[in-house]
Structure 1
Amino acid sequence: MAPRKVYGSLNSPATLKVMACLFEHNLDFEFVQINLEAGEHKKQPFLSMNPFGQVPVYEDRGIKQFESRAIIRSTAHEFGKQGEELIYWDARKQAVVANWVDVEDHQFEPPALKLIFELVIKPRKGLEPDEGVVAEAEAKLDRVLDVYEAQLAKFKYLVSDKYTIVDLLHLPNLQSLMGTQAKKLIESRPRVSAWCAEILARPAWTKVLEMQKMAQA
């Protein structure tokens, strides 16, 4: 059987999400580095796998998938009985999971990525953050985290008392934010802070971080 492959970058939050999901399900895979700086994702042969030129691409038994959330949803459904169960088999419960997947996608990630660009990526390139953009993104993320704080008063995790793909999807961006001034938005909310600390300590995520460190060594 051909090995599973993840084509992506260890600097790509979307790639890291997929890898965390595979580790949660105890799935072996080969990581194929795509050099984003060199623009490999915008050239062939990568474009033959994802015509939109974005990482990651996931290959499993002849099927190639792109779009990280789609990869994670399908993997969680197929391998939900192997390793950690990250979904619900009850359609009504899973509908709530699907709703909060969209919350992460449309509400949490946009301001988080703006902050990461301004506070992490720009300084690496020797550029100064745009304080106006930072303030606007912090204000948007502030409102989202207010909702999360209220939600976490009801459950241990965002959807229920079970860890699901909703929580997993937050991992890379939370990790980055906790290394910036924006961590104050998380630490000022006790329930969000506790949730963040717990999910960032999961063994599957630790494996992802170890892969990053090894690549940077």
Structure 2
Amino acid sequence: MAPMKLYGWAVSPWMARVLVCLEESGAEYELVPMSRNGGDHRRPEHLARNPFGEIPVLEDGDLTLYQSRAIARHVLRKHKPELLGAAGSLEESAMVDVWVDVDAHQLEPVLQPIVWNCIINPFVGRDVNQGLVDESVKKLKKVLEVYEARLSSSKYLVGDFVSFADLTHFSFMRYFMATEHAIVLDAYPHVKAWWEALLARPSVKKVMAGMPPDFGFGSGRIP
């Protein structure tokens, strides 16, 4: 069977979510680089893959998928279902889903404004909305209190084993931790230990190598 094809640019946090899961699964895949600056995501051939003109997109035989969490789940369901909690109880699988949703609806929405304002806006000539950053950091601390409580009783979010619930967090946390506000984690020792455990994983190290902390703006490596 031909390897899966993943379309996009590696610096994207949404691509990173899928790439980490592909690496964890050991599945064979081909990364098809695209240029955001070149408008590849707006070309007819890509709109045929994803009518919203976004990345990542995965082709697996006759199946074409978009939305990073959906792609990641498909990859893991097919190649490493234990990362979805499939090797354990229904309760474990349910808790994987809970924390994937917590990332999507609680953590990522407060990380995004910090990342965009602290990293991207200065490079593209946009004003930094410091008020939004400050408010987002305040909200982040509340969210991290919940994570700290959870991680005080287990190494990872669902238990003492890594799962998609943990891996899905890498994408935006990677860039947040490149901002001046990364010191916030010092007040949450269990969260910090969890993050350091994720960073030690070979899959994360490999994907992170393609994610410069400034999204490539400083080095001219913008896709």
Give TM-score scaled by structure 2 length: 0.89
User: Tell me, what secondary structure is at the counterpart of 1:59?
Assistant: strand
Shift of 1:177: 1.1
What residue number does 2:130 align with? 131
Q: Quick one: distance in 1 between partners of 2:57 and 2:39?
A: 15
What residue number does 1:15 align with? 15
Contact preservation (8 Å) 1:7, 1:56:
yes
Q: Which amino acid aligns with 2:160?
A: D
Do residues 87 (structure 1) and 84 (structure 2) align?
Answer: yes
Q: Which amino acid aligns with 1:23?
A: E
Contact preservation (8 Å) 1:175, 1:200:
no
Aligned positions of 1:155-166 closer than 5 A: 155-166=154-165
Q: Which moved more, 1:157-166 or 1:120-129?
A: 120-129
Shift of 1:216: 4.2
Shift of 1:140: 1.4
> Any idea what the Cα deviations from partners look like across 1:170-198, whole Å, max 9, x if unmatched?
11211111111220221221111111111
Q: Quick one: distance in 1 between partners of 2:198 and 2:11?
A: 20
Q: Which amino acid aligns with 1:120?
A: I
> Any idea what the Cα deviations from partners look like across 1:100-138, whole Å, max 9, x if unmatched?
111000001011111100011112224442110101111
Do residues 109 (structure 1) and 132 (structure 2) align?
Answer: no
Contact preservation (8 Å) 2:11, 2:210:
no
Q: Which amino acid aligns with 1:111?
A: V
Aligned positions of 1:5-154 closer than 5 A: 5-80=5-80, 85-89=82-86, 90-154=89-153
Shift of 1:212: 4.3
> Any idea what the Cα deviations from partners look like across 1:124-171, whole Å, max 9, x if unmatched?
224442110101111111111110000001111112111010111111
User: Tell me, what secondary structure is at the counterpart of 2:6?
Assistant: strand
Q: Quick one: distance in 1 between partners of 2:16 and 2:184?
A: 23
> Any idea what the Cα deviations from partners look like across 1:40-66, whole Å, max 9, x if unmatched?
212311110111111000111221111
Percent of aligned positions with the same letter in both sequences? 36
Q: How many residues align?
A: 214
Give TM-score scaled by structure 1 length: 0.92
User: Tell me, what secondary structure is at the counterpart of 1:86?
Assistant: helix
User: Tell me, what secondary structure is at the counterpart of 1:74?
Assistant: helix
> Any idea what the Cα deviations from partners look like across 1:68-113, whole Å, max 9, x if unmatched?
11111122121126xxx31212323201111111100000101111
Task: Structure 2: give runs of 5+ residues left out of the alignment.
Answer: 213-219
Q: Which amino acid aligns with 2:78?
A: E
Task: Structure 1: give runs of 5+ residues left out of the alignment.
Answer: none
